[in-house]
Structure 1
Amino acid sequence: MADNITTAGQRHGSLDKDHHAQLQHDDDVAQQKQASFSMDPERRVAVEKSLKRKLDARCSLFVLIYIMNYLDRNNIAAARLKGLEEDLNLDYDQYATCLSILYVGYILMQVPSNMFINRIERPSLYISCAMLLWGLISTLSGVVHNFGGMVATRFFLGFVEAAFLPGALLILSKWYTRRELTTRNALLFCGNLISNAFSALVGAGILSNMDGTLGHRAWRWLFWIEGAATMAIAISAAFILPDLPHNARGFTDEERHVAQLRMAEDVGEADTDSADQGALGGLRMALADKKIYLMMLTFTSYVVGLSFNAFFPSLTETLGFSYVPTLLMSSPPWLFSCLFSLVWAWHADRTQEKFWHVVGPILMGVVGFVISMSTLNIAARYVALFLQAGSYAGFIVFYSWISSSFPRPPAKRAVAIAMINAFSQLGNVAGSYVWKMEDNGYRKSYGIVLAMFGVTIAGCYAFKLVLVDLNKKIAAGEMDPWETKHDVAVQTAQIEMDAGAVAAERQHMREFRYLV
């Protein structure tokens, strides 16, 4: 009897604590929303302009980090050209294992990492520490002497690198509205595109000049130099990258306040998690959302279709030129892709349209694949490489489509980004087997990626239909905007708001629509 009373009392105390935390959360939301109706418009514009200028400057470091992320992941391919296989006594299957094992660690860590980064106050320090660690692991790749050592370093490299891309996408989604996010994602992915353009040239420079230096093979210097550069950048990242809108260093109190208001106004709710969700709340919500599974399958097909990027020098080699001209000719298509992606992403933000901004570049890639399959003409095949690289622009828009399709709560968005990105890495594993068929200028390989682009288009169209249906239900009042039981919290928060604010808030929620 006494035990039952004690247990009931503990349970009641726990409920009171959770209720108090929820009320505190709702009070914070109410204060943010009330302030949005009281700030002078001219002052708001000035503060917001200053905020975005500082934010863009700080987030530009993500581009450099992504360049190093890609270089450290793929420098093993360049090292292979200068004796890595011979020195480590690797056969082809063992080398392929060294390549693919990275994605095992990469896939395993993405969801736990993003769940963690969503709950900490200083994500900049987390990403900096992860970068410092993967730079160290990359450096250690230059001292291994056998197959087992290389497999171990590659696995842990992928395990640690998994923190960066989904974490960076999550941080950007906490600062930028849906109207701004695609362009910022495009700037981030410029790091990947720039790496595609110049990684072979950087590798060639080191491998051509460092062989025998201090008694070491050039491929070992490749790991040491690029790993050391990564660690140096990691230290600066701890001081430059932004944290969260409510606690970021380098911003005024007013700027931080406006940053939170912008995100609340974007979809009609503050970008915060409720106090009673728990550590696994976002995971449970994500697993229950059928939209995620459709995006996972569609995105994986897209990644298989884009697998040509890892074999781009080999595809350029089919033009018939020697080693150095081939490397030089591999860069311009990716420079074009970088510029085209920025313009395309800007237009996607301007129009707030997603489907055609994903499918359009895919159709460009389809034309490039067809040209490569149907002719051996050198000029035509080189133009086709530009079209294929340009298909990457839709890939960038797809990432912002993920964020805008799971806007609230942040815990669910964090898991959605990580789950979709992690599952899509299976496309990289499959893609490594697509490009073994070298006959007739990789014609059969092009046929496979062409089919995968067709699957991607079908998946995007199905996803569009799902969102259109959800928008109709929202308009009819049959469901709340982001499919969560949030109405009670909103009503509680509105107690502190005047009648005009309440009316405007309810109208904003009714007007919310998924971007299609």
Structure 2
Amino acid sequence: MVSNGVARSYDQQMEEEEPLLTSNKNGSEDCFSQASLLMQEEVTSRDASLSSDGDAEFGGPEARKALEKRLLLKLDLRMSILIIIYILNYIDRNNASAARLRGFERDLGLHGTEFATILSILYVGYIIMQVPSNMFLNYVGKPSIYLPICMTIWGVISILTGITHNFVGALLTRFFLGFVEAAFFPGALFLLSKWYKRSELSLRTAILSCGSLLSNAFGALIASGILDTMEGKLGNAAWRWLFFIEGAMTVFVAICALFILPDFPETSSNWLSPQEIALAKKRMTEDTGMEDQEDAHLLDSKDDNKGLLGFLSKESGLYLAFTDWKVWWMALALTSMVVSLSFNAFFPTLSATMGFDRTRTLLLCAPPWIFATIVALFNSRHSDLTGERCWHIVVPLIVGLIGFVIAMSTMNIAARYVSLFLMAQSYAGFICFLAWISNTFARPPSKRAVALALVNAFSQLGNVAGSYVWPSGWGPTYRFSYAICISTNGLAIIMCFIFRQHLTFLNKRAAEKEEETGRRQFKYIL
């Protein structure tokens, strides 16, 4: 397709040559035909060479491929630290469930629903902070500093959880833990969306999200080792050591992340060449037909008010996100999905219903999440290759629904353990849904930042509700809990199908407009 620059050049040339052609209209018809033919050939030649001309600054198509491969390798290596951060993010978030097996409730004197309240209060902090955090991150453009600082703070708060002695102390540390942890996940998704094309994003999102899946697997193994060996050391209960050690690990990794995490393409000159930066920006423009920046009328300022105008553009992103019903539809769908996935925080408890001792119960938690990681990677890779999202979300959710039905139907040990595998793999659909959010709200970046944070923040209501879905009184069968999961899972599936149909309609309308105007239109990934 001819770019806007080429199209304008061609239009200008036509305007300049029109008087000449008009003045000679009484001349030879053959001459006129020859002139028209030459102009058509020129445009055809431009079309044919447009791709190579666009890559000229990189040394041609072949040189660009090599440069792009090198750029992606550098990116993937630096982004890999996000996986470790997410593992620790989930470990620090969910270690209370493991501590519950070794006296956490007893030592703090918890009764009734107080433990569930301690779990759910974390997500209140998430809800409050996610949108402001992503807006601030988009404004400052320095994730390499902002995210590690937040990580250091939540690591310290996790350590402080180990010195609490009552319900109020645990409640406060958990609230502020969620308040600070809220910066990471939407911030990481936004960072990925600034570097990777839509066809690359699902796999990278899956690799990142595998941090949460692996944390369920290896977090249980780490917890098992600490809880079995640290009881009574220096006069502290083993569950207190769990918070001390895992919090210290978080602080250490945060310090390392300061030197590894990249910033955005426009602020990454310290580790990329000018040519690589230019290619990084060009890739994102080619992916959607628009530059990955704010509206020109908000950013095109050379005076001292540019910072203020930049801030106003973030407000514009806030307005665009809050007034787009698609954001709220995806938020509701994800919230419903999160309720159905609430078994995650109670996985050791569900594993314990099979009747094994504490150590074996924690060890049995690992295989289902390792299996879920493999399924998520395969599912996301296939989603990127096919350019399809909806079915790659729905199919894992349906398989998870089968797992819920099995778990609520029998107390057979083998069947219940198989159900844990089926339930865990449903996270593959959840992960693909996260990529769908970034794909759907591609531009401007301020809207994408707010949309990612808003959908994730709203979905934390599902975690708050999910904290009360698994009361001890409903065990060991937890039939009512599984029934709730089946209902919310089914609702999420229906909402995904309806959303897909709407995006199909929007794509048809965009195709019609593209045919009328000759200009490339944004197309949604289905």
In the alignment, the residues of structure 2 paired with residue 379 and residue 145 of structure 1 have an alpha-carbon distance, to the nearest angstrom, of 39
Instruction: State the distance in 2 between where 1:218 and 1:184 align.
Output: 36
CA contact (8 A) 1:368 1:387 kept: yes
The equivalent of 1:17 in structure 2 is: none
Shift of 1:38: 4.8
Q: Structure 2 matches for 1:65-464, cutoff 5 A?
A: 65-248=85-268, 249-275=270-296, 276=298, 277-436=312-471, 438-439=474-475, 441-464=477-500
Distance 1:479 1:226, change over 3 A: farther
Asked if residue 513 in structure 1 is aligned to residue 511 in structure 2, the reply is: no
Measured against aligned partners, the alpha-carbon deviations of 1:344-394 in whole angstroms (never above 9, x if no partner) come to: 100000000011000010111111122222333332222222111111100
Aligned position for 1:485: none
TM-fit CA distance, 1:507: 5.7
Contact 1:114 1:418 in 2 (8 A): yes
Distance 1:446 1:177, change over 3 A: same
Counterpart Cα distance in 1 of 2:509 and 2:425:
36
Name the SS of the counterpart of 2:488 in structure 1. Answer: helix
Please state how far the C-alpha of 1:247 moved relative to its aligned partner: 2.2
> Displacement of 1:141 after TM fit?
1.5
Amino acid at match of 1:66: Y
Q: Which one-letter code corresponds to 1:257 in the other structure?
A: A
Conserved? CA contact 1:142–1:223, under 8 Å:
yes
Q: Aligned partner of 1:409: which letter?
A: P
In structure 2, distance between residues paired with 1:410 and 1:279 = 9
Distance 2:515 2:313 in 1: 24
Q: CA deviation at 1:425?
A: 0.7
**How far 1:34 sits from its partner (Å)?**
8.2
- Point out where structure 1 has 5 or more consecutive residues left out of the alignment: 1-32, 481-505
Is the partner of 2:365 in helix, strand or coil?
A: helix
Letter in 1 for 2:319: R
In 1, Cα distance between equivalents of 2:319 and 2:192: 23
Distance in 2 (alpha carbons) for counterparts of 1:269 and 1:365: 38
Contact 1:403 1:417 in 2 (8 A): yes
**CA offset digits 1:429-473 (Å, max 9, x no partner):** 111222225356222221111111110011101111111111122
Q: 1:391 to 1:264 in 2, by over 3 A?
A: same
Q: Is the 8 A contact 1:110 1:163 kept in 2?
A: yes
Which whole-Å CA distance do the structure 2 matches of 1:388 and 1:239 have between them? 37
CA–CA distance in structure 1, aligned partners of residues 113 and 86 of structure 2: 29
Matched residues in 1 for 2:407 and 2:420: separation? 8
Q: Is the 8 A contact 2:97 2:348 kept in 1?
A: no
Cα shift readout 1:301-358 (whole Å, capped 9, x = no counterpart): 1001111111222222333333332222221111000011001100000000011000
**Pairwise CA distance, 1:479:** 12
Q: Is contact 1:307–1:428 with CA below 8 Å preserved after alignment? A: yes
Q: Percent identity?
A: 54
Q: What does residue 3 of structure 1 align with? A: none
Cα drift, residue 79 of structure 1: 2.4
- Please say if residues 337 and 392 of structure 1, whose CA atoms lie closer than 8 Å, have aligned partners that are also in contact: yes
CA distance in 1, matches of 2:53, 2:454: 35
Deviation at 1:143, TM superposition (A): 2.1
What CA deviation, in whole Å up to 9, does each residue of 1:59-89 have, x standing for no partner? 1110100011011112222223333333333
| Cα gap change, 1:217 to 1:193, in 2 (>3 Å) | same
Equivalents in 1 of 2:278, 2:518: separation in Å? 23
8 Å CA contact 1:36–1:261 kept in 2: the answer is: no
CA offset digits 1:8-31 (Å, max 9, x no partner):
xxxxxxxxxxxxxxxxxxxxxxxx
SS in 1 for 2:240: helix
Kindly provide the amino acid, as one letter, of the partner of residue 328 in structure 1: L
In structure 1, distance between residues paired with 2:120 and 2:293: 37
8 A Cα contact 1:341 1:390, kept in partner: yes
Q: Tell me how large the CA RMSD over aligned residues is.
A: 2.0
Instruction: State which structure, 1 or 2, has the greater radius of gyration over its C-alpha atoms.
Output: 2
Q: TM-score, normalised by structure 1?
A: 0.85
Describe the superposition over 1:105-130 as per-residue Cα deviations: whole angstroms up to 9, x where unpaired.
Answer: 11100000001111113111000100
Is the 1:302–1:452 Cα contact (8 Å) retained in structure 2? yes
How many Å apart are 1:161 and its aligned residue? 0.3
- Structure 2 contact 336–462 (Cα < 8 Å) conserved: yes
The TM-score normalised by the length of structure 2 is 0.83
One-letter identity of the residue aligned with 1:463: F
Gaps of 5+ in 2: 1-51, 299-311
Q: For 2:259, what is the secondary structure of its paired residue?
A: helix
Q: Deviations over 1:118-168 (max 9, x none)?
A: 111311100010001111111111222333222221111111000000000
- Mean alpha-carbon deviation: is it higher for 214-223 or for 345-354? 214-223
Q: Summarize the Cα distance change of 1:311–1:77 in structure 2 as closer, same or farther, 3 Å threshold.
A: closer
Contact conserved, 1:267 with 1:508, CA < 8 A, in 2? no
Partner of 1:476: 512
Paired residue total: 458
Deviation at 1:256, TM superposition (A): 1.3
Q: CA separation in 2, counterparts of 1:380 and 1:86? A: 32
Residues 78 and 327 of structure 1: is their aligned pair in 2 closer, same or farther, counting only changes over 3 Å?
Answer: closer
Shift of 1:416: 0.5
Q: Secondary structure at the match of 2:422?
A: helix
Q: For each residue in 1:403-430, what CA deviation from the matched residue of structure 2 results, as whole angstroms up to 9, or x when unmatched? A: 0000100000000000100010111111
TM-fit CA distance, 1:242: 1.0
The 1:397/1:200 distance shift into structure 2, 3 A limit, reads: same
| 1:205 positional shift | 1.3
Contact map agreement 1:341 1:392 (CA 8 A) in 2: yes
Deviation at 1:513, TM superposition (A): 1.3
